[in-house]
Amino acid sequence: ARAEAWMKAVGAQYGLSGAVEELDEESQQLLLDSYAADPSWSSKGEASVTKPAPVRAGRVVVELFESDCPKTVANFKALCTGEKGVGKSSKKPLHYKGFKFHRIVTGFCCQGGDIVRGDGSGGDSIYGGAFNDEKKGLALKHDAAGVLSMANSGKNTNTSQFFFTLGPAPQCDGKHTVFGKVVEGLDIITRINAEAASPEGAPRVDVTIADCGLL
C-alpha cells in the first residue's frame, strides 16, 4: 500500500507508472531506493513491491462460552449457520458468510459482523435488534490474542458485530461481553495482525469470512 501511494504521488517524476507488482526488477529497485531516500515517505514504514498472500487461508475454530453467555452464543451460532433467515428489523440475511472484517487494528482487534452495512455502522441480531450485555461475559478478561468478544456502541447495544483480540486488550474489560476464544487457527489471527492490520484500523488487505458454521 505504501509503494502504491508513492507511485501515485511521485512515480511519474521517476518515469514510473502502472501497477507496482508489474514493474520490471530494475524499476522496482528504483522505486524502493527512491522511497527509502525520502524521509517524508520512509518515516511511514518500509515499502514492499510484492502483494502479501491472501489472508483468507485457513479455518479459525472457537470455543463458545454457552453457560456464561447463552443469549450471546445463541445469536452468534445462528449467524454462523444462517438458520434464522432474514432479520426482522434490517430485512438482511442473518448470516456472516461472505462478510469482511471492516476494522483491524494492529495489536488490538479484528472486528467484523456488520451484516447490514458491512462498514461497522450497522448490525442486527436474531432478537430483532440490539440485546443486553450478559454479566458473566462482562466479567471475563480480554487477556490474550484470540479472545472472542462482542463489539458495541455502549451498554446493552449488542447486535451482530464481534471482534477477535490480536493481543491483550484490558481497556475492553467490563465493557464488552466475552463469549468465546480461539482453540484452533490462532496462527491465522497472528497472520491477520501481521499482514492486514493497521494502526488506524483500515484493513491493508481484505479479510473475508469465506464460510462459517458449527462443528
What confidence tens digit (pLDDT) does each residue in 129-164 have?
A: 999 999 999 999 999 999 999 999 999 999 999 999
Among the listed residues 96, 131, 140, 133, the one whose alpha carbon sits nearest the alpha carbon of residue 115? 96
Between the alpha carbon of residue 88 and those of residues 22, 84, 112, 116, 132, the distances in Å are 48, 10, 20, 12, 18
Q: What are phi and psi of 30, to 5 degrees?
A: -60, -45
- Predicted structure pTM score: 0.75
Between the alpha carbon of residue 139 and those of residues 133, 170, 174, 175, the distances in Å are 11, 12, 6, 9
Sheet bearing 61-64, strands edge to edge: 61-64, 178-184, 147-150, 162-165, 109-112, 103-105
At residue 130, the pLDDT reads 96
